[in-house]
Structure 1
Amino acid sequence: MNTNAKNANNRKAEETLSKEEANLWKTLQEELNSPLPVTGNDETNTSSDSGMHPLITFGLVAAFVAHGAIMFSLPPVLQGKGAPFLPTSAKGIGVMFRELKKLPQIVKKIQQKKEIRFLDLGSGDGRVVFRAAREGYFYKSIGYEINPGTYHSLHYLPTFDSIWTSIGSSYI
Protein backbone atom coordinates (compact mmCIF):
# COMPACT_ATOMS: atom_id res chain seq x y z
CA MET A 1 0.00 0.00 0.00
CA ASN A 2 1.46 3.38 -0.95
CA THR A 3 1.71 6.41 1.34
CA ASN A 4 -1.12 8.32 -0.38
CA ALA A 5 -3.55 5.49 0.30
CA LYS A 6 -2.43 5.33 3.94
CA ASN A 7 -2.96 9.05 4.39
CA ALA A 8 -6.42 8.81 2.83
CA ASN A 9 -7.37 5.96 5.18
CA ASN A 10 -6.09 7.94 8.17
CA ARG A 11 -8.15 11.02 7.17
CA LYS A 12 -11.30 8.91 6.83
CA ALA A 13 -10.70 7.43 10.27
CA GLU A 14 -10.13 10.91 11.76
CA GLU A 15 -13.37 12.25 10.28
CA THR A 16 -15.47 9.53 11.91
CA LEU A 17 -13.82 9.95 15.32
CA SER A 18 -14.32 12.67 17.88
CA LYS A 19 -11.55 15.20 18.57
CA GLU A 20 -10.28 13.30 21.59
CA GLU A 21 -10.30 9.99 19.78
CA ALA A 22 -8.56 11.61 16.82
CA ASN A 23 -5.74 12.87 19.06
CA LEU A 24 -5.32 9.41 20.58
CA TRP A 25 -5.33 7.89 17.09
CA LYS A 26 -2.65 10.33 15.90
CA THR A 27 -0.47 9.68 18.95
CA LEU A 28 -0.81 5.94 18.48
CA GLN A 29 0.16 6.19 14.81
CA GLU A 30 3.23 8.27 15.68
CA GLU A 31 4.36 5.84 18.34
CA LEU A 32 3.91 2.86 16.03
CA ASN A 33 5.88 4.49 13.23
CA SER A 34 8.71 5.85 15.39
CA PRO A 35 11.78 3.68 16.16
CA LEU A 36 12.15 2.40 19.73
CA PRO A 37 14.75 4.25 21.78
CA VAL A 38 17.68 2.15 23.05
CA THR A 39 19.31 3.67 26.10
CA GLY A 40 21.39 2.22 28.90
CA ASN A 41 19.32 4.04 31.54
CA ASP A 42 16.06 2.38 30.60
CA GLU A 43 14.15 0.91 33.56
CA THR A 44 13.63 -2.39 31.75
CA ASN A 45 17.38 -2.95 31.37
CA THR A 46 18.58 -3.35 34.96
CA SER A 47 21.47 -5.46 36.19
CA SER A 48 19.18 -7.54 38.43
CA ASP A 49 17.42 -8.96 35.35
CA SER A 50 20.64 -10.44 34.03
CA GLY A 51 21.14 -12.71 37.11
CA MET A 52 19.09 -15.55 38.55
CA HIS A 53 16.23 -15.10 40.92
CA PRO A 54 17.46 -15.17 44.55
CA LEU A 55 15.24 -18.15 45.42
CA ILE A 56 16.66 -20.18 42.53
CA THR A 57 20.19 -19.28 43.61
CA PHE A 58 19.42 -20.24 47.21
CA GLY A 59 17.86 -23.54 46.09
CA LEU A 60 20.87 -24.48 43.98
CA VAL A 61 23.34 -23.64 46.75
CA ALA A 62 21.27 -25.62 49.28
CA ALA A 63 21.14 -28.62 46.92
CA PHE A 64 24.92 -28.58 46.43
CA VAL A 65 25.55 -28.30 50.18
CA ALA A 66 23.16 -31.19 50.92
CA HIS A 67 24.75 -33.32 48.20
CA GLY A 68 28.23 -32.63 49.58
CA ALA A 69 27.13 -33.49 53.12
CA ILE A 70 25.74 -36.82 51.96
CA MET A 71 28.84 -37.66 49.94
CA PHE A 72 31.22 -36.93 52.81
CA SER A 73 29.15 -38.85 55.35
CA LEU A 74 28.93 -42.08 53.35
CA PRO A 75 30.30 -45.16 55.04
CA PRO A 76 33.83 -46.21 54.16
CA VAL A 77 32.49 -49.06 52.01
CA LEU A 78 31.11 -46.65 49.43
CA GLN A 79 34.21 -44.50 49.56
CA GLY A 80 36.34 -47.45 48.44
CA LYS A 81 37.98 -48.13 51.81
CA GLY A 82 36.60 -51.64 52.31
CA ALA A 83 33.86 -53.10 54.44
CA PRO A 84 33.54 -52.37 58.16
CA PHE A 85 34.76 -55.10 60.50
CA LEU A 86 32.04 -56.62 62.67
CA PRO A 87 33.26 -59.75 64.47
CA THR A 88 31.02 -62.81 64.63
CA SER A 89 30.19 -63.87 68.17
CA ALA A 90 31.09 -67.32 69.47
CA LYS A 91 27.39 -68.08 69.89
CA GLY A 92 26.71 -67.09 66.27
CA ILE A 93 29.52 -69.30 65.01
CA GLY A 94 28.22 -72.24 67.06
CA VAL A 95 24.71 -71.86 65.65
CA MET A 96 26.10 -71.54 62.12
CA PHE A 97 28.06 -74.79 62.30
CA ARG A 98 25.20 -76.67 63.98
CA GLU A 99 22.90 -75.67 61.13
CA LEU A 100 25.61 -76.51 58.60
CA LYS A 101 25.83 -80.06 59.96
CA LYS A 102 22.07 -80.46 59.42
CA LEU A 103 22.22 -79.72 55.68
CA PRO A 104 21.68 -82.93 53.69
CA GLN A 105 24.19 -81.94 50.99
CA ILE A 106 26.95 -81.50 53.58
CA VAL A 107 26.06 -84.70 55.48
CA LYS A 108 26.08 -86.68 52.22
CA LYS A 109 29.50 -85.34 51.20
CA ILE A 110 30.92 -86.02 54.68
CA GLN A 111 29.66 -89.61 54.58
CA GLN A 112 31.16 -90.11 51.11
CA LYS A 113 34.47 -88.68 52.38
CA LYS A 114 34.47 -86.05 49.62
CA GLU A 115 36.78 -83.08 49.84
CA ILE A 116 34.69 -80.09 50.92
CA ARG A 117 36.23 -76.65 50.84
CA PHE A 118 35.20 -73.86 53.18
CA LEU A 119 35.44 -70.28 51.89
CA ASP A 120 34.78 -67.21 54.03
CA LEU A 121 34.53 -63.90 52.17
CA GLY A 122 35.25 -60.97 54.47
CA SER A 123 36.79 -63.21 57.10
CA GLY A 124 37.96 -60.39 59.39
CA ASP A 125 40.02 -61.90 62.19
CA GLY A 126 39.51 -65.45 60.91
CA ARG A 127 37.34 -66.82 63.73
CA VAL A 128 34.97 -68.60 61.36
CA VAL A 129 37.81 -69.98 59.22
CA PHE A 130 39.63 -71.34 62.28
CA ARG A 131 36.41 -72.91 63.57
CA ALA A 132 35.81 -74.54 60.17
CA ALA A 133 39.32 -75.99 60.27
CA ARG A 134 38.77 -77.29 63.83
CA GLU A 135 35.50 -79.00 62.88
CA GLY A 136 37.41 -81.37 60.60
CA TYR A 137 34.70 -81.61 57.94
CA PHE A 138 36.49 -79.48 55.41
CA TYR A 139 39.44 -80.40 53.23
CA LYS A 140 40.58 -76.80 53.10
CA SER A 141 39.42 -73.65 54.92
CA ILE A 142 40.16 -70.31 53.24
CA GLY A 143 39.32 -66.78 54.33
CA TYR A 144 39.50 -63.58 52.26
CA GLU A 145 39.46 -60.12 53.78
CA ILE A 146 38.73 -57.08 51.60
CA ASN A 147 39.12 -54.35 54.24
CA PRO A 148 42.77 -53.25 54.05
CA GLY A 149 42.70 -51.78 57.56
CA THR A 150 41.51 -55.03 59.13
CA TYR A 151 43.89 -57.07 57.02
CA HIS A 152 46.97 -55.04 58.00
CA SER A 153 46.06 -54.82 61.67
CA LEU A 154 45.61 -58.60 61.87
CA HIS A 155 48.63 -59.29 59.68
CA TYR A 156 50.92 -57.72 62.27
CA LEU A 157 49.44 -59.58 65.26
CA PRO A 158 51.64 -62.17 66.97
CA THR A 159 52.09 -65.61 65.50
CA PHE A 160 49.38 -67.97 64.30
CA ASP A 161 49.64 -70.11 67.43
CA SER A 162 48.67 -67.27 69.75
CA ILE A 163 45.64 -66.45 67.59
CA TRP A 164 44.65 -70.12 67.45
CA THR A 165 44.96 -70.47 71.21
CA SER A 166 42.90 -67.37 72.01
CA ILE A 167 40.13 -68.26 69.58
CA GLY A 168 40.24 -72.01 70.13
CA SER A 169 40.03 -71.81 73.92
CA SER A 170 36.60 -70.19 73.78
CA TYR A 171 35.13 -73.23 72.00
CA ILE A 172 36.41 -75.99 74.28
Structure 2
Amino acid sequence: MEGGGTPPETLKEERQSGCVPPTSLEGNSLKKSNWGFLFTGIVGGTLVVVYAVATPFITPAFRRICLPFVPATAKQIENVVKMLRCRRGPLVDVGSGDGRIVIAAAKEGFTAVGYELNPWLVWYSRYCARREGVQASARFYISDLWKVTFSQYSNVVVFGVPQMMLQLEKKLELELEDEARVIACRFPFPHWTPAQVTGEGIDTVWAYDASSFRRSKKRP
Protein backbone atom coordinates (compact mmCIF):
# COMPACT_ATOMS: atom_id res chain seq x y z
CA MET A 1 0.00 0.00 0.00
CA GLU A 2 1.38 3.37 -0.98
CA GLY A 3 2.15 5.99 1.70
CA GLY A 4 3.00 3.33 4.34
CA GLY A 5 0.93 2.73 7.47
CA THR A 6 -1.08 -0.25 8.58
CA PRO A 7 -3.48 -1.76 6.04
CA PRO A 8 -7.18 -1.34 6.93
CA GLU A 9 -7.62 -5.11 6.96
CA THR A 10 -4.90 -5.46 9.64
CA LEU A 11 -6.39 -2.68 11.82
CA LYS A 12 -9.78 -4.31 11.56
CA GLU A 13 -8.37 -7.67 12.65
CA GLU A 14 -6.47 -6.08 15.59
CA ARG A 15 -9.60 -4.26 16.78
CA GLN A 16 -11.60 -7.46 16.61
CA SER A 17 -8.97 -9.41 18.54
CA GLY A 18 -8.50 -6.60 21.12
CA CYS A 19 -4.76 -6.29 20.35
CA VAL A 20 -4.42 -2.61 19.60
CA PRO A 21 -0.79 -1.28 19.56
CA PRO A 22 -0.12 1.13 22.45
CA THR A 23 -0.26 4.77 21.54
CA SER A 24 2.46 7.29 22.44
CA LEU A 25 0.22 8.50 25.30
CA GLU A 26 0.11 5.02 26.80
CA GLY A 27 3.90 4.74 26.45
CA ASN A 28 4.44 8.01 28.33
CA SER A 29 2.06 6.86 31.06
CA LEU A 30 4.05 3.63 31.45
CA LYS A 31 7.33 5.56 31.70
CA LYS A 32 5.88 7.85 34.37
CA SER A 33 4.67 4.84 36.32
CA ASN A 34 8.15 3.28 36.21
CA TRP A 35 9.76 6.53 37.35
CA GLY A 36 7.23 6.73 40.18
CA PHE A 37 8.13 3.25 41.41
CA LEU A 38 11.86 4.08 41.15
CA PHE A 39 11.46 7.35 43.06
CA THR A 40 9.41 5.64 45.77
CA GLY A 41 12.06 2.94 46.09
CA ILE A 42 14.89 5.48 46.40
CA VAL A 43 13.04 7.54 49.04
CA GLY A 44 12.06 4.43 50.98
CA GLY A 45 15.60 3.03 50.90
CA THR A 46 17.05 6.38 52.01
CA LEU A 47 14.66 6.55 54.96
CA VAL A 48 15.61 3.03 56.03
CA VAL A 49 19.33 3.90 55.92
CA VAL A 50 18.80 7.17 57.84
CA TYR A 51 16.74 5.33 60.45
CA ALA A 52 19.37 2.60 60.86
CA VAL A 53 22.19 5.13 61.26
CA ALA A 54 20.36 7.68 63.43
CA THR A 55 18.57 5.34 65.84
CA PRO A 56 21.66 4.39 67.92
CA PHE A 57 22.41 8.11 68.40
CA ILE A 58 18.83 9.13 69.25
CA THR A 59 17.70 6.28 71.52
CA PRO A 60 20.01 7.23 74.45
CA ALA A 61 17.80 10.28 74.99
CA PHE A 62 14.86 7.97 75.80
CA ARG A 63 16.68 5.87 78.41
CA ARG A 64 16.30 6.42 82.13
CA ILE A 65 19.85 7.77 82.23
CA CYS A 66 20.68 9.66 79.05
CA LEU A 67 24.31 9.14 78.03
CA PRO A 68 24.75 10.97 74.70
CA PHE A 69 27.87 10.76 72.56
CA VAL A 70 30.03 13.87 73.03
CA PRO A 71 33.53 13.53 71.52
CA ALA A 72 36.46 14.04 73.88
CA THR A 73 38.63 17.06 73.22
CA ALA A 74 42.32 16.66 72.44
CA LYS A 75 43.12 18.28 75.80
CA GLN A 76 40.89 15.82 77.67
CA ILE A 77 42.70 12.90 76.08
CA GLU A 78 46.04 14.48 76.98
CA ASN A 79 44.90 14.91 80.61
CA VAL A 80 43.70 11.31 80.83
CA VAL A 81 47.04 10.03 79.54
CA LYS A 82 48.78 12.25 82.12
CA MET A 83 46.77 10.58 84.91
CA LEU A 84 47.83 7.16 83.62
CA ARG A 85 51.56 7.79 83.88
CA CYS A 86 53.41 5.16 85.90
CA ARG A 87 50.27 3.01 85.89
CA ARG A 88 50.12 -0.61 84.77
CA GLY A 89 47.43 -3.20 84.19
CA PRO A 90 44.42 -3.45 81.88
CA LEU A 91 42.32 -0.37 81.15
CA VAL A 92 38.63 0.05 80.34
CA ASP A 93 36.81 3.06 78.92
CA VAL A 94 33.18 3.13 80.08
CA GLY A 95 31.16 4.47 77.15
CA SER A 96 34.10 4.59 74.75
CA GLY A 97 32.40 6.64 72.01
CA ASP A 98 34.69 7.02 69.00
CA GLY A 99 37.47 5.05 70.74
CA ARG A 100 40.12 7.75 70.99
CA ILE A 101 40.80 7.22 74.72
CA VAL A 102 41.25 3.47 74.23
CA ILE A 103 43.51 3.99 71.22
CA ALA A 104 45.60 6.61 73.07
CA ALA A 105 45.99 4.22 76.02
CA ALA A 106 47.00 1.37 73.70
CA LYS A 107 49.70 3.60 72.22
CA GLU A 108 51.01 4.12 75.77
CA GLY A 109 51.39 0.36 76.22
CA PHE A 110 48.09 -0.51 77.92
CA THR A 111 45.85 -3.39 77.00
CA ALA A 112 42.71 -1.31 76.60
CA VAL A 113 39.04 -2.18 76.16
CA GLY A 114 36.10 0.06 75.30
CA TYR A 115 32.44 -0.69 76.00
CA GLU A 116 29.93 1.25 73.94
CA LEU A 117 26.22 0.71 73.27
CA ASN A 118 26.21 2.40 69.85
CA PRO A 119 27.24 -0.21 67.23
CA TRP A 120 28.24 2.42 64.64
CA LEU A 121 30.73 3.95 67.09
CA VAL A 122 32.11 0.51 67.98
CA TRP A 123 32.68 -0.35 64.31
CA TYR A 124 34.25 3.05 63.70
CA SER A 125 36.52 2.60 66.75
CA ARG A 126 37.68 -0.79 65.48
CA TYR A 127 38.47 0.74 62.11
CA CYS A 128 40.48 3.56 63.75
CA ALA A 129 42.39 1.09 65.94
CA ARG A 130 43.34 -0.92 62.86
CA ARG A 131 44.33 2.24 61.00
CA GLU A 132 46.56 3.27 63.93
CA GLY A 133 48.10 -0.22 64.14
CA VAL A 134 46.94 -0.96 67.71
CA GLN A 135 44.08 -3.38 66.98
CA ALA A 136 45.81 -6.12 69.01
CA SER A 137 45.79 -4.06 72.23
CA ALA A 138 42.70 -1.87 71.66
CA ARG A 139 39.45 -3.81 71.60
CA PHE A 140 35.86 -2.62 71.48
CA TYR A 141 32.60 -4.31 72.43
CA ILE A 142 28.92 -3.46 72.05
CA SER A 143 27.59 -3.62 75.59
CA ASP A 144 25.60 -1.78 78.25
CA LEU A 145 28.00 -0.56 80.95
CA TRP A 146 25.60 -1.72 83.70
CA LYS A 147 25.94 -5.30 82.48
CA VAL A 148 29.75 -5.28 82.53
CA THR A 149 31.83 -6.38 85.52
CA PHE A 150 34.92 -4.19 86.04
CA SER A 151 36.77 -6.28 88.63
CA GLN A 152 39.46 -7.36 86.13
CA TYR A 153 40.51 -3.78 85.29
CA SER A 154 43.18 -1.76 87.07
CA ASN A 155 42.33 1.50 85.29
CA VAL A 156 38.81 2.76 84.58
CA VAL A 157 38.05 5.84 82.47
CA VAL A 158 34.56 7.34 82.68
CA PHE A 159 32.92 9.99 80.50
CA GLY A 160 29.67 10.20 82.42
CA VAL A 161 26.79 12.54 83.18
CA PRO A 162 25.71 13.71 86.66
CA GLN A 163 22.62 11.45 86.70
CA MET A 164 24.72 8.28 86.49
CA MET A 165 27.71 9.09 88.69
CA LEU A 166 26.22 8.05 92.04
CA GLN A 167 24.99 4.70 90.72
CA LEU A 168 28.30 4.06 88.96
CA GLU A 169 30.18 5.06 92.12
CA LYS A 170 28.41 2.30 94.06
CA LYS A 171 29.02 -0.26 91.31
CA LEU A 172 32.75 0.47 91.13
CA GLU A 173 33.12 0.40 94.93
CA LEU A 174 31.78 -3.15 94.92
CA GLU A 175 33.76 -4.44 91.94
CA LEU A 176 37.21 -2.82 91.83
CA GLU A 177 40.35 -4.04 93.56
CA ASP A 178 42.21 -1.73 95.96
CA GLU A 179 45.01 -0.97 93.47
CA ALA A 180 42.58 0.26 90.80
CA ARG A 181 42.37 3.87 89.64
CA VAL A 182 39.24 5.57 88.30
CA ILE A 183 39.56 8.59 86.01
CA ALA A 184 36.47 10.75 85.56
CA CYS A 185 36.13 13.28 82.75
CA ARG A 186 33.79 16.30 82.66
CA PHE A 187 31.93 15.37 85.87
CA PRO A 188 33.38 14.18 89.22
CA PHE A 189 32.00 11.44 91.43
CA PRO A 190 29.73 12.85 94.17
CA HIS A 191 31.30 11.32 97.30
CA TRP A 192 34.87 10.38 96.46
CA THR A 193 37.87 12.60 97.15
CA PRO A 194 40.18 12.74 94.13
CA ALA A 195 43.85 11.88 94.49
CA GLN A 196 44.67 14.22 91.58
CA VAL A 197 42.90 16.84 89.49
CA THR A 198 44.15 18.33 86.25
CA GLY A 199 42.74 20.58 83.55
CA GLU A 200 40.14 23.35 83.52
CA GLY A 201 36.50 23.64 82.49
CA ILE A 202 35.24 20.79 80.32
CA ASP A 203 38.79 19.46 80.09
CA THR A 204 39.00 18.80 83.85
CA VAL A 205 39.95 15.24 84.80
CA TRP A 206 39.67 13.71 88.28
CA ALA A 207 41.70 10.65 89.36
CA TYR A 208 40.46 8.47 92.24
CA ASP A 209 42.33 5.60 93.87
CA ALA A 210 40.14 2.69 94.97
CA SER A 211 42.14 2.20 98.17
CA SER A 212 41.31 5.79 99.19
CA PHE A 213 37.58 5.79 98.53
CA ARG A 214 37.22 2.38 100.15
CA ARG A 215 39.09 3.57 103.23
CA SER A 216 36.98 6.72 103.52
CA LYS A 217 33.81 4.66 103.21
CA LYS A 218 34.81 2.45 106.15
CA ARG A 219 35.30 5.41 108.48
CA PRO A 220 32.47 5.89 111.04
| TM bracket (short chain) | 0.3 to 0.5
- Larger fraction in strand: 2
- Larger fraction in helix: 1
After TM superposition, the score normalised by the length of structure 1 is 0.35
After TM superposition, the score normalised by the length of structure 2 is 0.28
